[in-house]
Structure 1
Amino acid sequence: MELNLRGKVAVLTGASVGIGLAVAEAFAAEGTNLLLAARNEERLTQAAEGIAKKFGVKAVGVSCDVATAAGVDKLVAAAKDNFGGADILFNNAGTGSNETIMDAPDEKWLAYWELHVMAAVRLARGLVPMMKARGGGAILNNASICASQPLGYEPIYNVTKAALMMLSKNMANEFIKDNIRVNTINPGLVLTPDWVKTAKQLTQDSGGDWEGHLQQVADEHAPVRRFASAEELAGFVVFLCSEKASYSVGSTYFVDGGMLRGV
């Protein structure tokens, strides 16, 4: 399927590893130029250089923390300086949490709010005018199945991802007049390095069968009985950001192997 993404410019956050890196490679395979954001400068540089060499696109890495206004400003300036703007924004930066409502301090709630919600708000304020000037574009926010079906150990993650999903709906209604489509993707279990790291930590005192632990998680939560690869999710992301999904506005898509217990 020809997605007509060659020569477009995509801005991706959390782009040096896991889902973000897989999505970057999927865009690059379509000929899309990339502005990649992450905090780890060394890993980000390696990713950008590797993608540019493999796919023959322009890939620029910007080391920044999009949970801060200064980090967003740096990324928006890089989009203007390197590409004259952007056509696509994939808000992917985020991380899980572990707390109870009764014990979590205000500072932790606010930190996740900045990362999961305000980063998307600030990036929209910076990039939407440039998208509009280029004739339109697409924004896709990576929330989580936990935005609708919370896991008990991470209330802050659940709440802020739910807020991101609602933000997407409001963005969609406001930006479509400028031919900018906004949607949300809610992944289920995706095998990222974070999952592997956590599984190894949890099993280190009981034999180290981290793969068995992950299989138990998949068996418990996903009818498909496995984790998705980051590449499986990436293909869907790229499609939603293409003109082939031109009538998709303000929607939320669950890519969860059947994990959602509802309709």
Structure 2
Amino acid sequence: MDMGLKGKVAVITGGSVGIGLAVADGLAAEGANVILAARGRERAEAEAERIAGAHGVKAIGVEADVSTTDGVDAVIRAAEERFGGTDILINNAGTGSNETVMDAPDDKWQAYWDLHVMAAVRLARGVIPQMRRRGGGVILHNASICAVQPLWYEPIYNVTKSALMMFSKCLATEVVGDNIRVNCINPGLILTPDWKKTARQLTENSGGDWEGYLQGVADEHAPIKRFGTPEELANFFVFLCSDKATYSIGSTYFVDGGMQKGL
């Protein structure tokens, strides 16, 4: 199936590892040129080089902390200077938290707000003028099932991802007339390095069986009884970016192995 993505320019934040990297690979496999934005220059550039060689597209790595205005500006500038603008923006950068409401200091709340919400706001303001010039575009927000069905140990993550989901809805309404489609994806249990890190933290004082902990999480929460792979999730991102999803606007989609219990 031709997804209509050949020659498109896609910016993926958090693009050098996990879900972001899988999405970059998936888009590149369909012929899209990709910009991998990440805090680590060496990894981003190495993965970009690998993707370019594997898929025959143009790919660059950009060192950028998108929780800062300087980092966002670096990504927007790279898209303009290297490709003449952006067709697709994947707001994926993020990480789990691990705290309680009573113990978490203000600066931790602010740091996650900047990473999960303001990064998406600032990037949208930067790339939407580029998309308008190019005739339209796609913006996807990688939120989380925790936006609506929170996990007890990461209230900051839960709250900021919920805010990201609402921002996605608001932005979709604002730019639909510019032929820019905005949607949100709420993944369930996806086996990323972040999940492995969290599992190690939670089991370090109880024997360290982090793999057993993750299986227990899957058994408890996901009817499918396993974590999804980043590649399984990336397939859905690629579809929503494609010209096969042109009537999908302002929605939130759960890709969660049945984890979401509500309507």
| Aligned match of 2:229 | 229
Secondary structure of 2:244's aligned partner: helix
Q: How does 1:109-258 map to 2 (within 5 A)?
A: 109-203=109-203, 208-258=208-258
Matched, 1:101 2:101: yes
Opposite residue 135 of structure 1, the aligned amino acid is: G
| Aligned match of 2:41 | 41
Opposite residue 121 of structure 1, the aligned amino acid is: V
Matched, 1:58 2:58: yes
TM-score (norm 2): 0.97
1:19-76: CA deviation from partner (whole Å, max 9, x where unpaired):
0000000001001000110001111111111101111100011001000001101110
Q: How far apart are the structure 1 equivalents of 2:131 and 2:203? A: 47
Q: How far apart are the structure 1 equivalents of 2:202 and 2:130? A: 45
| Aligned match of 1:73 | 73
Deviation at 1:102, TM superposition (A): 1.6
Opposite residue 191 of structure 1, the aligned amino acid is: L
Q: How does 1:74-93 map to 2 (within 5 A)?
A: 74-93=74-93
Displacement over 4 Å in runs of 4+: 201-208
CA contact (8 A) 2:26 2:235 kept: yes
Secondary structure of 1:140's aligned partner: strand
Deviation at 1:214, TM superposition (A): 1.2
Opposite residue 170 of structure 2, the aligned amino acid is: N
CA contact (8 A) 2:96 2:198 kept: no
Secondary structure of 1:248's aligned partner: coil
Deviation at 1:250, TM superposition (A): 0.3
Q: How far apart are the structure 1 equivalents of 2:122 and 2:58? A: 24
Does 197-206 or 111-120 show the bigger shift? Answer: 197-206
1:155-202: CA deviation from partner (whole Å, max 9, x where unpaired):
111111000000000000001010000000000000011222333444
Q: How far apart are the structure 1 equivalents of 2:208 and 2:158? A: 29
Q: How far apart are the structure 1 equivalents of 2:151 and 2:210? A: 20
Deviation at 1:208, TM superposition (A): 4.6
Q: How far apart are the structure 2 equivalents of 1:145 and 1:201? A: 21
TM-score (norm 1): 0.97
Q: CA RMSD in A?
A: 1.2
Deviation at 1:112, TM superposition (A): 0.7
| Structure 2 unaligned blocks of 5 or more | none
Does 189-198 or 212-221 show the bigger shift? Answer: 189-198
Deviation at 1:87, TM superposition (A): 0.4
Q: How far apart are the structure 2 equivalents of 1:100 and 1:204? A: 18
Deviation at 1:205, TM superposition (A): 5.8
Q: How far apart are the structure 2 equivalents of 1:216 and 1:147? A: 21
| Structure 1 unaligned blocks of 5 or more | none
Opposite residue 40 of structure 1, the aligned amino acid is: G
**Share of identical aligned residues, percent?**
70
Secondary structure of 1:86's aligned partner: coil
